[in-house]
Amino acid sequence: MSYIENCNTHRQAIIDRFESPYVLENFFNKKEIEKLITFQFQNADRVKAQISSGNIQSVIDVPGMMKTQKWMNDKFKEVFSDYSRCHTGNFYITNQHHDAHVDLISEKEGLEHWAHNQIPFKSVVFPLYLSPLNAECHTAFMKQRRIGYAATFDKSSRSEQKDSDYKLYREYDGFIDINGNPLPTTNNSEDWTESKYPSITKESFSGFTEEMVIKQRVGDVMVFDACQVHASCQPEGTKDRWLKNGMNIQFYKTVPTIDK
């Protein structure tokens, strides 16, 4: 079955694993962070500059990394116990806010054989380097979850996504809450202000409600549902000049393959 067919068949199992975001404090020590910073450059197949989201990514084979860096896999096994050997994810370097999105298997990846027995599970994001050290880099996790492909949400056509495989949604659909109940695709953008979400217009924010805002800290790992919409956030009164280097990894669950 295809990735999307599996998402439909196993929809309730995906929803049953939903939970609020949380932080694994001091998950990585200084040595491990240094190892990862070096790893991203020494093992990059190439470097990708994404003009639309203003970030530089060293392109890494993330499943390969989880295999060769056994220490990394061992650490996450302690948290999630059981997950597929397939992953998506990337390293990034940026001084800009990220718009609202979900990191999942893209439509292009969904065609690949490995994706045919995977369903979404968890996503992690962690900074490796922040400048200044106490940079006010925050991530807002929305109440909205969406089971499907990787997606960027932008009603005001700011994003172009020419250099991204993420599907760009100009109109939103399929939002559900933590219990799997449908949520409206528009609202009054009550949690939005321009200083909090400089890269998202009020119009594009319509449909989203904050569930939790977390400040990034080197060593900590933010854990959330892979289907959960999230975006960079600049809380009122915090300084918006910073540079961050970090990584995100998605974890999937394997489901039995049923040949048609």
What is the token pair recorded at 166?
């993420």
User: How far apart (Å, rounded) are the C-alpha atoms in residues 52 and 74?
Assistant: 35
In angstroms, the Cα distances linking 81 to 28, 73, 84, 119 are 18, 10, 10, 16
User: How far apart (Å, rounded) are the C-alpha atoms in residues 253 and 22?
Assistant: 20
Q: Which one of 77-85, 89-97, 103-111, 197-205 is the stretch in contact with Fe ion (CB under 5 A)?
A: 103-111
Q: Which of 256, 18, 210, 221 is nearest to 120 (CA)?
A: 18
Asked if residue 153 lies in contact with residue 100, where contact means CB atoms within 8 angstroms, the answer is yes
Asked if residue 173 lies in contact with residue 208, where contact means CB atoms within 8 angstroms, the answer is no
Question: Minimum Å distance from CB 10 to Fe ion?
Answer: 22
For Fe ion, the closer of residues 103 and 225 by Cβ is 103
Q: Which residue is nearest to Fe ion (CB)?
A: 103
What is the token pair recorded at 91?
């390293």
Q: Which one of 16-24, 67-75, 102-110, 215-223 is the stretch in contact with Fe ion (CB under 5 A)?
A: 102-110
The verdict on 99 binding Fe ion (CB under 5 A) reads no
Residue with tokens 């639309």: 52
Q: Are strands 151-153 and 167-169 parallel, antiparallel or unpaired?
A: parallel
For Fe ion, the closer of residues 123 and 189 by Cβ is 123
Question: Is the N-terminal amide bond of 127 cis, ω within 30° of 0?
Answer: no
Q: Which one of 98-106, 113-121, 159-167, 184-192 is the stretch in contact with Fe ion (CB under 5 A)?
A: 98-106
Q: Which one of 6-14, 31-39, 100-108, 146-154 is the stretch in contact with Fe ion (CB under 5 A)?
A: 100-108
Question: Minimum Å distance from CB 256 to Fe ion?
Answer: 29
Which of 103, 191, 211, 225 contacts Fe ion by CB under 5 A? 103
Give residues 199-258 in contact with Fe ion (rule: CB under 5 A): none
Q: Are strands 243-254 and 210-215 parallel, antiparallel or unpaired?
A: unpaired
What is the token pair recorded at 194?
């321009």
For Fe ion, the closer of residues 103 and 191 by Cβ is 103
Q: Which one of 33-41, 47-55, 96-104, 113-121 is the stretch in contact with Fe ion (CB under 5 A)?
A: 96-104
For Fe ion, the closer of residues 14 and 227 by Cβ is 227
For Fe ion, the closer of residues 103 and 211 by Cβ is 103
For Fe ion, the closer of residues 117 and 169 by Cβ is 169
Q: Which residues bind Fe ion (CB under 5 A)?
A: 103
